[in-house]
Structure 1
Amino acid sequence: MKYLPMSIVDHIILFLCYLRFGNTAKYGLMRPDFDPLYMLMLSNTRLLPVVDVGTYDRIKPREIQVLPSLTSIEGNMVTFSNRKTHHFDAIIFATGYQSTMWQWLETDDPGLIGDDSMPKCKHPDHWKGCNNLYCAGFYRRNLGCLSEDALLIAKDISDDYILAKANGFES
């Protein structure tokens, strides 16, 4: 978007998605009425609905069935917006995401990541923690800000290297 208007970037994104995924509507995945970047700009939460590439690869051969939105649940019977009903042995509502980062990340930096698995600091200082721990593209803005974070991190590492070299330390 540094060189092209958002509408053109949106069209490029949608064209590349079409090349990769084809017509997703034939599998029950309808595209939103707005283009992706425009929709992101309109969103108050900066969150967009996405389907994981691996999930899509299982939807295409019909290993996973995409159903219309549901309108009611009575016991084990679910009624969908197309008025069809289906019986289910189990109904699981996957309504959110909770990171398992703290199960594998070992750090003594109490200030970088909050309990919600997001950076504690607000933009623009969200990317830097203590002890050379960084977060790139991890803030509640969007993935388009990943490059901004990466440049800040690269500059910080470069500055540390130059300072260490000037003080006679080699990494």
Structure 2
Amino acid sequence: MANSSEEFRLTLPGVSQDGRLPRHYLADGQGAKKNISPPVEWYNVPEGAKSLALVARDIDAPEPEAPTVPFNIWVVADIPPTMKGLPEGFSGKDTEAGIKEGTNDLKKHGWEMPKMPNPGHRIEFKLLALDQELNLGNKVTVDKLLEASEGHVVGEAVFIVTS
């Protein structure tokens, strides 16, 4: 087994696991700064990875018919495995290197936090290392990404913060 320094890991710089996501990344924001995509960094991408995909979702989202149904906040596909992260404010910029941002559950393109009915929701960032590029076309969604990645995941890293 690889030691922890070689483990495929995902982090949000400046935020500890289970720590609070700074307000300027949230819908309520901090002054003029709001709904800015947070920086994400990753380490030790597994061998054999041809692309990476990132999904951020509120895993405590209430749904009237079900106790909790994850609410998709951000989906990014076809990230080159040579990249080490995405900088703060990456969402909405012209994507480079074939990276594709998708549509979230607010029907918005890119990073968009919903207004939280109450604080303390857990936001899960999940990075998938895939043995192929997904080529999802122009309409990238979390469901399409997860379906296309079945059988192609060579590694998974998760980081959870609270809103």
Q: TM-score, normalised by structure 1?
A: 0.22
Greater strand percent: which structure?
2
Q: Quick check: which has more Rg, 1 or 2?
A: 1
Greater helix percent: which structure?
1
- Higher relative contact order (Cα pairs below 8 Å, separated by 6+ residues): 2
